[in-house]
Structure 1
């Protein structure tokens, strides 16, 4: 039986595919699928919308051996297309293998020497084309093919969808196929379907298919791994994974280039992100609310935690997340005046800490915003809460409102008001009758002093005789129950003491209550009264604004669910002192949060920095602690905070998973003005700052507009024209050279600096510094001299010095009248660092051969300030010991029952009960614990044999430790960041990276 179905007279070209070679069919379907998808990508290409002419397309196809020219070498694109020509094009485009040795048709001239036969046999075997007569088996290879026949073959081969609606002039049987071809741009809508197809039409269509086959088009893409990876789906179903060097910016179109299969692609990619990745904007249209906009959705729990937001000088009292979870409105108040707000048109900085969005944590530092309150407050609505209370809602928070701001039905009001944000509760003494009333509101002020215009609001009073009920239990654990009431209830009536459950005859009352909203409250039960099983919760005394009290003996069944959620660290921030870390947990934590050993700070090499000084609770809840270090962390370095072992206060005491956060210690300290003075000799004013300052940008100290002065008439004015601003070599001083007609000594009486910043971007403390009077710059004075190493002496002066102004010849260093050789003198701010020669090094006490060392500055020294003020000379100043002691050697000494070893330092060590904590002692690699009740203790000066040496620290191992480890090696060092070990001058011991080794004898 034949594996082909035979044609109908209505469609003389196409026979549905039902058999044939499976490999051929698989190739056809693969190509058909990619081609079908490609047509939608090549809308318009087939009909000349691209830059190629029909002849140019023909040349491309000819080179690819898809088509061939006539014997004269011409394309003859105007000629009509034969069935043989179309068979070759279809066969080639569909990837069919020409078939030889087979003659299925009986046309005259249909022989093995006919060029068209292998292609006709291929399309016939693939069931793509049949003959004009299947009974006589005539293919009619020289006959013409119509546009609608060509379209039908391709539409069915490509499995294109036949549309329900058609609008063309094709024959009835072909209308659906022709419309599908038109919709997919296989043929032009202007073509005559019943006319014979031209070679030009065939070339347009074949070129689009050929082009799609050569470079599969991108059909879709998927972004993953936080914008670092894009996976492209091609028209041939191939997936190409592209890893980017720079992650995509969320919700922003970005060109991505890649290569695949020898083809180069450039695709526009947009990473659509619903979770926020950053703070997008901050604004304030009134003086009590700051609106923080994120670029996506944020987690409600952390977004509505007001402690995650800070504005210098202000308290964030509330954080409210919008319904779309993209905007948080902060209610703020002056830290010293709860009734005060922001200042209109003054720049502020907002910091956002650890707001979560999906798997990300969003933080932003010092986002600038300027409140602009130019709108009058508007009374938006009035709502009666029974017959004696009216709730008035405004467009923004209002500062105050009294009964004098209201009239009801044009009558004065007698009563009281409560103001909360943008809501005023108006309680009237007289009872309002049921029905519609008019409330007139006038003169209510916002926080910028703007008052609302007189407006009338309609409201309807309906007598409220319905008592509130408990609408439901929103949440219940052993420790907390959240109840929702049937209506807003008077906050004053919701008392923790009136919410309880009974255990036998004992009343277990709530310990605290928190208003979530006007009808929802959370009740907390302490460890003694916590709920441990399903029980009835009693609710008493709750009233609505009409005074209706909840029914006596109201009870609601509560089924507490045990809290199995581990506490997490919401944020951990380092304060400006660089030694106090504030840690906020996601829920209340117990005493384990105060255990110092649960917190470890390590440096970039993984070494523990120092013992913690203290861990204390802060804030009004049990979620926040402050971890204080003995030493401040160094600026410009990276550290890691590790927290573990902290448990919550729930019944299970859920323990947190280990937490780690990198702390990069940047400069967050606001600079200050340390001195403003004038130098008459060069008619200049010198402003000296505490830090290196910015010399470019909006806060640069070189900008004349940052300064003003008070003249001889006590009037403040800007710098005179012609004033030049120079910067000292150390970057800490601005030298303002006035023009000669403005004498700084007689006309500059006061000075002001505004809005300048340091190189880290921190603005001047309090944003400005005003000096009511300034005087002549003082001569440079020598303040101190300190030995910081055996070959270094730092000479400290009263003012910043000009870089490079120090010379060796400016100084004399002596000990017992012997002059010591100085190799170099280098200016460092207000210090000069002297380096002594190798033959004149000091000892660990800062002395030379046991003698005190002195430093003097010679007269006519070259030392000068940035403004050119020179030193007149300075008498001998005694060098103070600032050299850190270090370990000199470690030796073991043993008595009958005591195991100890002596650690000898380069100088005397001061006794301190905490010295043991600065040592690290190990036996066979195991770290021992310091302290009287642990593995070892230390003492200064008295060895076990009674010898006394103030530079020796004795480490005493506990008897059990010594006995258990006889014959083993002991390693000891001072930790890299000691906190307690000091010499008698107060200098901390130098920490060690390496260990000293000794041993415990066997006897």
Structure 2
């Protein structure tokens, strides 16, 4: 150091190493420039501002300044202010306050030569922490990022999936709950994926994603459209109905066995990375697992927790220590991918503590799901209908013992308690489970449980989700919530409109709430076909929420399987040979099941030999009678004789022209027609792949193949429906057609026909309406008289020249009872006299049976049905009292004909 420092002996011993370090790295030029390049120190001398700034800026801030410019550079570097500069230039020496001010300025505003702030260089060197620098006020804390504004609309962000059994629906806001099957609807009718009441809906931890476990898994790469509706966010916002289209369910990842643990004395749980399809219930468990190389025999395996876990139940109890579980590749996910063989060595340690509740979810007025700390099982087995005894259900209640559970369902650690019959109050509610009501899989039962849940007030509106046809006379309404039975089954809450928007009166016969509480079956008084709408109002859920008046359209289609075909051959073996097949239904004329496909027609000619009509050259087929029949032109020999050596079964075929047998007055030939499966226009396919049809000879046609083809429709009207259309009509053929058989005399007695009117119905068939004189009854049989019809030797013909023939046929009763008179008896009694007896099975005791009275203070107590007399009992009845009946109550005669609605406003007899 002596070589570089002048008067080195004057440097105090405690500072020698620091002086040497400063000289070596050029941090100081000393106090006398004349001795340069040596350095002169004056450790006991007062220090000027220029000297202190040289030390600070060169050593601490990376500058190269001298005493001649240190003050200027210090102000440029932000260490001192202009005011400080003026003060420091006139001071001979610094005092402690001056030094503190300079150091504070350096820390607060000073910038090093490398561009960093001086305080940051100290933080980077570890000399001071950022927290201390912030506390001292030298740096400002980083401003917290402004929270993104909360969305003002609830929206679906995306719908994703990584397997075929689950959908992940992500929202932009936390939700109140996950919802259920009424909130998520797969719009594709042909989708293999199914969401229904058996699906599971879980809310993620951040409450922004709903995990839907499907009831039926999707097909690989199946594409669906998902409609999401009536979902509420925690902040009260509701989702506008949203449809996410073209969601592809695809699984390309192998499932994995993730972990295993002992959860019971006889039970091991294996957890998987995704839902598992195989094993299925009843499968041999040894195909899928081995426990301790087979030393433990497996009794059964059971999937839980949305098929993501499998519980292995052993025949013998597990011993303490370690047990090896091997999961085999036969375990497969819903894409058919198997796991890789996986082994787990798990510890067995007996659990002596009973199960306890650690959480809950889906707390609604009608149910709550409690979450236990381990898998549980109930201590009573359910019956065949999954119901439990009242005594056992009383062990689960809320608030007090007057509110027992209605049902129970266990899924692993979760216990769902149904409180449909004793609803949970909104807000805080206490759930109680009596001691020894459940047990864990070690056999430890619970202590008495009391758990507080928060039940959100149910304000979700009732919504009609869809209308589906059940059959030709009923529809099924599906709602989003469990409904109040009284309002759901009140038929006055439903109105049917036709395609023009007009009310169809007295068409609803009944409304029945389904077992699930969310469906209502509406039954009509007659079959409907075509386009309609239903108006629903005043229907409530169990919380009293009322549906807004809703109108939803639906289409009623023919759902009856086509059957009972008939065939007739015209000009057999001659030119113009034609086979007509009547399907008695409007049939499909294109597609796979079209009746115009010639390959569907096979002729059996005897001894097992047959040929297909498509194999004969020149065969043609066309649809007739509004697609209810086909005409097949089949070349005969006469048609083909101009060909050189025409070949039978190739160029022609001659049908028999003589009867092989007679049935029901109709002659049939020996050949038989076989028709492969066809469908009607509504898509209903024949029940059988092969339909055998006898072939009749032409000559006559008659009644439609229907039990109601000849029917009495009121006391003086008969309708006759034929199986073809009359093109040449002679009314006289039917004027002598009606008679009755008198059992007393054994003779037929003519019934006069005053008018015989011919019309063609929508099916293209002739309908003859006969107006009678002298019968005057809504019954077809009374006092030993039975009404009949017969038509022979007729001149009325169809387009093929065939005449009408109707063998003796008993008329079917389709005439409803009619009101003959309404008689005022006294102030408490009015009698309604009908044209025939009412079937007592259609009436109820101590009931008004659909009757009502009005006018003045009249009141009806009951209506007593006795044969053709109905006695109305009430108060303040008068001969001016109005009497009404509503046919939906279904009073009917012995033939099932329902008494029509009526209102009598005239003065009573």
Q: TM-score, normalised by structure 2?
A: 0.55
Aligned residue number for residue 259 of structure 2: 383
Kindly provide the CA deviation profile for residues 388-432 of structure 1, in whole angstroms up to 9, marking residues without a partner as x. 625264776225453442466994574244254576444566969
Q: Which residue of 2 aligns with 1:167?
A: none
Q: Please list the CA deviations of residues 169-211 of structure 1 after superposition, one character each: whole Å capped at 9, or x if unmatched.
A: xxxxxxxxxxxxxxxxxxxxxxxxxxxxxxxxxxxxxxxxxxx
In 2 relative to 1, CA 894–384 (structure 1 residues): closer, same or farther, beyond 3 Å?
A: closer
For 1:845, the equivalent position in structure 2 comes to: 777
How far apart are 1:471 and its partner, in Å? 2.5
Q: 1:733 pairs with 629, 635, 647, which one?
A: 629
Q: In structure 1, the residue corresponding to 2:676 is in which secondary structure?
A: strand
Instruction: Select which of 887, 891, 894 maps to 1:980.
Output: 891
| CA distance in 2: counterparts of 1:819 and 1:284, whole angstroms | 78
Please say if 1:331 is aligned against 2:207: no
Within-5 A mapping of 1:81-96: none
Using the alignment, how far apart are the partners of 1:351 and 1:709 within structure 2? 47
Match of 1:144 in 2: none
Map 1:519-668 onto structure 2 (within 5 A). Answer: 519-524=413-418, 535=430, 537-538=432-433, 547=442, 549=444, 553=447, 555-559=449-453, 561=455, 565=459, 568=462, 573=467, 576-580=470-474, 582=476, 592=486, 596=490, 599-601=493-495, 605-606=502-503, 609=506, 612=509, 618-619=514-515, 626=521, 631-632=525-526, 634-636=528-530, 638=532, 640=534, 642=536, 644=538, 648=542, 654=544, 656=546, 661-662=551-552, 664=554, 666-668=556-558
1:785 to 685, 699, 710: 710
**Corresponding residue number in structure 2 for 1:300:** 179
Displacement of 1:609: 1.6
| Structure-1 separation of matches of 2:593 and 2:292 | 56
1:483 aligned residue (353, 370, 374): 370
- In 2, Cα distance between equivalents of 1:726 and 1:291: 50
2:361 to 451, 471, 474: 474
**Residue 923 of structure 1 corresponds to which residue in structure 2?**
855
1:669 aligns with 2:581: no
1:384 CA displacement? 0.8
Is this contact kept in 1: 2:671–2:695, CA < 8 A? no
- 2:49 alignment partner in structure 1: none
CA distance in structure 1 between the partners assigned to 2:252 and 2:710 by the alignment: 63
When normalised by structure 1's length, the TM-score is 0.50
- Matching of residue 402 in structure 1 with residue 284 in structure 2: yes
Structure 2: distance between partners of 1:422 and 1:717: 55
**CA RMSD in angstroms, aligned pairs only:** 6.5
Alpha-carbon distance between aligned partners in 2 of 1:709 and 1:290, rounded to the nearest angstrom: 53
Residue number in structure 2 paired with 1:461: 346
SS state at 2:470 partner: coil
Is contact 1:310-1:351 (8 Å) kept?
A: no
Answer whether contact 1:376 1:451 (CA < 8 A) is retained: no
How far 1:582 sits from its partner (Å)?
A: 4.7
How much has 1:378 moved relative to structure 2? 5.3
Distance 1:632 1:573, change over 3 A: farther
The 5-angstrom pairing of residues 107-118 of structure 1 reads none
Whether the aligned pair in 1 keeps the contact of 2:779 and 2:836 (CA below 8 Å) is: no
Shift of 1:486: 3.9
Structure 1 pair 885/736, CA: closer, same or farther in 2 (3 Å)? same
Partner of 1:182: none
Summarize the Cα distance change of 1:601–1:503 in structure 2 as closer, same or farther, 3 Å threshold.
closer
CA distances 1:56-98 after superposition (whole Å, capped 9, x unpaired): xxxxxxxxxxxxxxxxxxxxxxxxxxxxxxxxxxxxxxxxxxx
Contact between 1:292 and 1:327, CA under 8 Å: does it hold in 2? yes
Distance 1:1000 1:792 in 2: 28
Tell me what 1:776 maps to: 695
Residue 301 of structure 1 aligns to a residue whose secondary structure is: coil
3-state DSSP of counterpart to 2:341? strand
1:692 and 2:586 equivalent? yes
**1:918, distance to aligned residue in structure 2 (A):** 5.0
Any conservation in 2 of the 1:356–1:362 contact (CA below 8 Å)? no
Match of 1:514 in 2: 409
Which residue in the other structure is 2:11 paired with? none
| Cα distance in 2, alignment partners of residues 547 and 688 from structure 1 | 70
Partner residue in 1 for 2:328:
441
- Alignment partner, residue 263 of structure 1: none
Partners of 1:501 and 1:328 lie apart in 2 by: 28
Task: Give 1:664 deviation, angstroms.
Answer: 4.3
The DSSP-based 3-state class of the residue aligned with 2:181 is helix
- Select 1:813's aligned residue among 736, 745, 752: 736
CA shift for structure 1 position 729: 0.8
Kindly indicate whether residue 679 of structure 2 is the aligned counterpart of residue 756 of structure 1. yes
Give, in whole Å, the separation in 2 of the partners of 1:656 and 1:571: 15
Spell out, residue by residue over 1:898-924, the C-alpha distance to the aligned partner (whole angstroms, 9 max, x if none). Answer: 564x7677x456476469645554326
Q: Which structure 2 residues correspond to residues 120-139 of structure 1 after superposition, within 5 A?
A: none
Q: Which runs of 5+ in 1 are unaligned?
A: 1-223, 225-271, 333-340, 942-949
1:825 is paired with a residue of what secondary structure?
A: strand
Asked if the contact 1:408–1:439 (Cα under 8 Å) also holds between the matched residues in 2, the reply is yes
Cα shift at 1:472: 1.8
- C-alpha separation between the residues in 1 aligned to 2:171 and 2:430? 45
Give the conservation status (yes or no) of the 8 Å contact 1:576–1:668. no
- Partners of 1:637 and 1:665 within 8 A in 2: yes
* Aligned residues of 1:804 and 1:827 also touching (Cα < 8 A): no
Contact kept? 2:726, 2:766, Cα under 8 Å: no
Q: Per-residue displacement from partner, 1:663-721 (whole Å, max 9, x unpaired)?
A: 64511514322225574837776654453123345654323466678897689989436
What CA distance in whole angstroms lies between the structure 2 residues aligned with 1:878 and 1:326?
65
User: 1:528 & 1:512 partners in 2: Cα distance?
Assistant: 11
Instruction: Please give the alpha-carbon distance, in whole angstroms, between the structure 1 residues aligned to 2:168 and 2:527.
Output: 32
Query: Which residue in the other structure is 1:826 paired with?
Result: 759
Distance 1:739 1:311, change over 3 A: same
* Partner SS state of residue 300, structure 1: coil
Structure 2 residue 888 is the aligned partner of structure 1 residue 998? no
- Map 1:883-962 to 2 at 5 A: 883-884=815-816, 893=824, 895=826, 897-898=827-828, 900=830, 907-908=835-836, 910=838, 913=843, 917=849, 919=851, 921-923=853-855, 931-932=861-862, 937=863, 956=872, 958-962=874-878
Measured after TM superposition, the shift of residue 457 of structure 1 is: 3.0
Kept after mapping to 1: 8 A contact 2:178/2:201: no
User: 2:615 aligns to what SS in structure 1?
Assistant: coil
CA pair 748-491 structure 1, distance change in 2 beyond 3 A: farther
Count of residues in Structure 1 that have an aligned counterpart in Structure 2: 661
- Residues 1:776 and 1:661: Cα distance change in structure 2 (over 3 Å): same
* Alignment of structure 1 residues 334-373 onto 2, 5 Å: none
Q: Which secondary structure does the structure 2 equivalent of 1:958 belong to? A: strand
Compared CA separation, residues 918 and 493, structure 1 to 2 (3 A): closer
Equivalent pair of 2:853/2:882 in contact (CA under 8 Å): yes
**Deviation digits for residues 145-178 of structure 1, max 9, x if unmatched?**
xxxxxxxxxxxxxxxxxxxxxxxxxxxxxxxxxx
What is the rounded CA distance, in whole Å, between the counterparts of 1:377 and 1:685 in structure 2? 59
SS of the equivalent of 1:998 reads: coil
The equivalent of 2:199 in structure 1 is 319
On the 8 A contact 2:359/2:372 being kept in 1, the answer is yes
Distance across 2 between alignment mates of 1:585 and 1:751: 46
Distance 1:500 1:929, change over 3 A: same
